[in-house]
Amino acid sequence: MKLLGTSLGKATWLLAVIILIVAVVFNYFDDSPSVKYTSMAEDLKSLEETFRHQNKSCFILGASGETGRMLLQELLERNIFSKITLIGRRQLTFEDKAYENLVQEVVDFEKLDDYAAVFKGHDVGYCCLGTTRAKAGADGFVRVDHDYVLKSAELAKAGGCSQFHLESSRGADKTSNFLYLKVKGEVEAEIEALGFDRLAIYRPGVLLVDRQESRPGEWVIRKFFGAVSAVCSTSMAIPIQAVAKAIVSNTLLQPEQKTEILENKDITSLGKSKAK
Ligand SMILES: NC(=O)c1ccc[n+]([C@@H]2O[C@H](COP(=O)([O-])OP(=O)(O)OC[C@H]3O[C@@H](n4cnc5c(N)ncnc54)[C@H](OP(=O)(O)O)[C@@H]3O)[C@@H](O)[C@H]2O)c1
């Protein structure tokens, strides 16, 4: 028993040392934020005011998911849109009064062309849609993370949407040999080619969240990066609240370029900024 206790103690110390080393290494190699803005995050309060008075509308794809749910909560709290539409495959129920003015549109993602009207007349579109290969198989993953996402963006653009915010992933790269990263990179490029007035692509690392759905493999990775992130912020992982805050704050800012790619560090830094 005593031997077991000593071994466990040693293992804990070893794990703590590994976490510390990984944190230091990641921090050393992290790039500084890469997106430049003409307006600064310090002005958030007045930017929120100005934005609010423009009576804009937005839609969210994936509002039933972890990021989408948090994004919706953040948008409602900051109250910057006069109308929010949730587009999803099922009707969602909310108990809080704050959610009572939402519009919900239930669509069949296999027949999105039949729902073109649902995508009409929104100023801003947010996409937090996605599945996993483990859940949907390789074809199902491509169907959701590429086909549904791209078709939705096309319909939104055709419907007059000028600003599109896409939650992609760290490492997205259309030339990658990994299906996940390749698909993410491809869809980023194809949406960029649609020519939105503004396209914001978010590439978060591992999302730190107590996920409602059980994903054992992801759980282990999350716990490890959660511990590393507690020591210092890295380019590898990010709390989901920070992603939602960053997306909303970024909506208010004016980037210098038409397409922005926000890497994990950019999202982390924007996710910390608050309206004063
Ligand atoms: N997990 C990570 O650590 C991580 C890291 C970086 C980037 N990302 C990316 O970030 C995005 C959001 O991730 P998340 O973890 O917040 O998502 P999530 O919790 O898995 O939610 C996914 C959303 O997509 C919808 N969806 C899934 N399959 C669908 C289908 N066949 N038809 C229609 N809707 C479908 C879900 O709707 P239902 O509720 O109806 O299923 C839900 O609203 C994804 O693109 C993901 O790849 C994730």
Question: Tens digit of pLDDT for each residue in 100-124?
Answer: 999 999 999 999 999 999 999 999 9
Q: Which of 157, 184, 245, 265 is catalytic?
A: 184
Confidence of residue 77 (pLDDT cuts 50, 70, 90): very high
37, 120: one domain: yes
More confident: 76 or 216: 76
Can 56 be counted among the known catalytic residues?
Answer: no
Give the domain range for residue 175. 33-272
- The confidence band for 222, taking pLDDT boundaries of 50, 70 and 90, is low
Read off the amino acid at residue 191.
Answer: I
Distance in angstroms (rounded) separating the CA atoms of residues 64 and 67: 8
pLDDT of residue 236: 85
In three-state secondary structure terms, 201 is: strand
Task: Check residue 66 and give its pLDDT.
Answer: 97
Please tell me the chain's helix, strand, coil percentages from 3-state DSSP, rounded to the nearest 5.
55, 15, 30
Cα 166 to ligand 1 centroid, rounded to whole Å: 12
Supply the pLDDT for residue 113: 98
Burial call 183-215: b when 16+ CB within 10 Å, e when fewer: bbbbbbeebbeeebebbbbbbbbbbbbeeeeee
- Whether 180 and 260 map to the same domain: the answer is yes
Q: Among this protein's residues, is 115 annotated catalytic? A: no
Residues 156 and 259 in one domain: yes
One domain, residues 129 and 7: no
Q: Domain tally for the chain?
A: 2
Residue 203: pLDDT band (50, 70, 90) is very high
Q: Which atom of ligand 1 is nearest to the CA of 90?
A: 40
Instruction: Answer yes or no: do 120 and 174 share one domain.
Output: yes
Q: Tell me the pLDDT tens digit for each residue of 26-55.
A: 555 555 556 666 555 558 999 999 999 999
Determine which of 22-36, 215-229, 234-248 has the lowest per-residue pLDDT on average. 22-36
Q: What is the pLDDT of residue 3?
A: 59
